[in-house]
Amino acid sequence: MAAEHCVVLVSGGLDSATVLAIARGRHQYCHALSFDYGQRHRAELTAAAQVAQSLGACEHRVVTIGIDAIGGSALTDMRIAVPETPTSGIPVTYVPARNTVFLSLALGWAEVIGCADIYIGVNAMDYSGYPDCRPAFITAFAQLANLATRAGVEGTTRFAVHAPLMDMHKDDIIREGLSLRVDFAQTVSCYQADAAGLACGRCDSCRIRRDGFLKAGVADPTRYRSG
């Protein structure tokens, strides 16, 4: 039973949509999970709901987290601007411990569902240099998961955290997604997308996404706002 189910973190972006498509090929029931954490690009939540439905997730839940109460990121603190030119080091769009928080809640839900497999769309190739997107982080979280839970203690479940895009470049992710019939027009990657989901075309995430479509030789379906 359990192996037919999995939890997939779905942000509404390009990567997690591809991960959901991959997970759907392996599991009959994909439980999609998104977070409303006070992010400035809340349009991604609308995108996440569309993506979850299009790709056949069996359900989609949105957990609210008041992560903006601790601040410290351009994505959750409206007083910090999103950079529109490349920066060195880890950028201010990094949200402290975000993936740890997200995976923790995914773990809790997996335990409630009774499934062992958790999918996350991180990758450490064409990315913003966030520490919680690296292989060592994913491995450490999986170890923690098996100590942190009832299922781990009772030995009924051996949790696995899957990051199938970890070693892929953006153009490869796009090709993979297209082969699995992902409709990237539904996805929103921009850090400062407006309420309608229109992208700025200038932030880190927009640049990485646009370069990906260019390299993949595929028309970019992103809806950019003018000006």
Which chain residues interact with a second copy by CB under 8 A?
A: 36, 61-67, 69-72, 89-90, 94-101, 104-105, 107-109, 111-112, 131-132, 134, 136-137, 140-141, 143-145, 147-150, 152-154
Task: Supply the minimum distance, in Å, between the C-beta of residue 99 and a second copy.
Answer: 7
Give 54 or 149: the residue with its C-beta nearer to a second copy. 149
Task: Supply the minimum distance, in Å, between the C-beta of residue 162 and a second copy.
Answer: 17
Give 41 or 60: the residue with its C-beta nearer to a second copy. 60
Rounded-to-integer distance, Cα 88 and Cα 105, Å? 31
Looking up tokens 């990906």, which residue turns up? Answer: 212
b or e along 5-21 (b: 16 or more beta carbons within 10 Å of the residue's beta carbon)?
Answer: bbbbbbbbbbbbbbbbb
H-state helical runs in 73-189: 98-113, 135-148, 150-154, 170-179
Using CB atoms within 10 Å of the CB of residue 36, give its burial: 0 to 12 exposed, 13 to 18 middle, 19+ buried: middle
> Strands of 117-119's sheet, edge to edge?
29-36, 5-9, 117-119, 160-162
Task: Supply the minimum distance, in Å, between the C-beta of residue 191 and a second copy.
Answer: 17
Give 8 or 216: the residue with its C-beta nearer to a second copy. 8
Give 33 or 55: the residue with its C-beta nearer to a second copy. 33
Task: Supply the minimum distance, in Å, between the C-beta of residue 192 and a second copy.
Answer: 21
Task: Supply the minimum distance, in Å, between the C-beta of residue 225 and a second copy.
Answer: 30
Give 3 or 62: the residue with its C-beta nearer to a second copy. 62
Other C-beta atoms closer than 10 Å to the C-beta of 158 total 11
Task: Supply the minimum distance, in Å, between the C-beta of residue 73 and a second copy.
Answer: 8
Rounded-to-integer distance, Cα 124 and Cα 51, Å? 23
Give 83 or 108: the residue with its C-beta nearer to a second copy. 108
